[in-house]
Chain A
Amino acid sequence: MLDRPRVLYVEDEPDIQTIARLALETIGRFSVEMCSSGEAALVAAQSAVQTGGTFDLVLLDVMMPGIDGPTTLQRLRQVPGFEHVPVVFMTAKVQPDEIRRWHALGAVDVFEKPFDPMSLAARVGEVLGRSRQMGAA
């Protein structure tokens, strides 16, 4: 049996964490690790790499207390072994210039919040499939 894809979800609001975990684990069969801040995400990324693992995808809230999503992404990219892990930004407001900026930072996609819990897992699966195809190419 194949391991479940591992998703790191970085989100400061407990309500959103709970409904996202429900959707991703129940519908998508993903293995989900939640972090409440960018700082915690950096620790989780370093810990995963040190124990010989990694994440298949990161879902990263843009606006959080402490370091924000874009800064977190820049620092995640400096973690050895985390340079190419696909990252998707989650954000309530999506302006075209912001999307361009985030893609330039290395985000593979941007999901608008609020997300539909019934379709979140499918969207994550699509991004994972796309990223694996690009990685294999």
Chain B
Amino acid sequence: MNEKEFDDVLARLTGEYKAGLPQRLGEMTVLWGRLSKDRTDAEASRKLHFHFHYFSGSGGSFGLPELSDEATKAEIALSAAVRADRTLTDEECRVIATQLDVVRRIVDGG
């Protein structure tokens, strides 16, 4: 594979990655809706944590470093509650809501 072919494949993979983001974001929005109604919903916390973790660990590899940076803030906010299997605090909920909006703007603009 020459350099141009490599770049072409990388561009295609990046396009596929970005195309998949809205669906994942939709799932995150549903999970956040569940948590907004019931902070004790441990399954929603755990799944939302995995989604933010995915953005955090992948965005920069696909040309979206800001997606990684912003998702990491929400991942950190969720981590302590998920690990301790406890209810989210008011401050953690505020961070998650804020970062979900920031991530949505990045995905919409990406």
Q: Which residues of A approach B to under 8 Å, CB–CB?
A: 13, 15-16, 18-19, 22, 26-27, 63, 65, 90-93, 113-117
In this assembly, does B72 line the interface, its C-beta being within 8 Å of a C-beta of chain A?
A: yes
Please tell me if the beta carbons of B68 and A114 are within 8 angstroms of each other in the complex.
yes
Q: How many A-B residue pairs have CB under 8 A?
A: 60
State how many angstroms separate the Cβ of A95 from the closest Cβ of chain B: 10
Q: Which residues of B approach A to under 8 Å, CB–CB?
A: 1, 6, 9-10, 13, 16-17, 20, 50, 53-54, 56-62, 65, 68, 72, 75-76
Residue pairs across A and B with Cβ atoms less than 8 A apart, 8 shown, are: A13-B54, A13-B58, A15-B13, A16-B57, A16-B61, A92-B68, A114-B59, A115-B60
18 new A-B contacts, CB < 8 A, other than A16-B57, A92-B56, are A13-B57, A15-B20, A19-B17, A19-B61, A22-B13, A26-B9, A63-B53, A92-B53, A92-B75, A93-B56, A113-B57, A113-B60, A113-B61, A114-B57, A114-B59, A114-B61, A114-B68, A117-B10
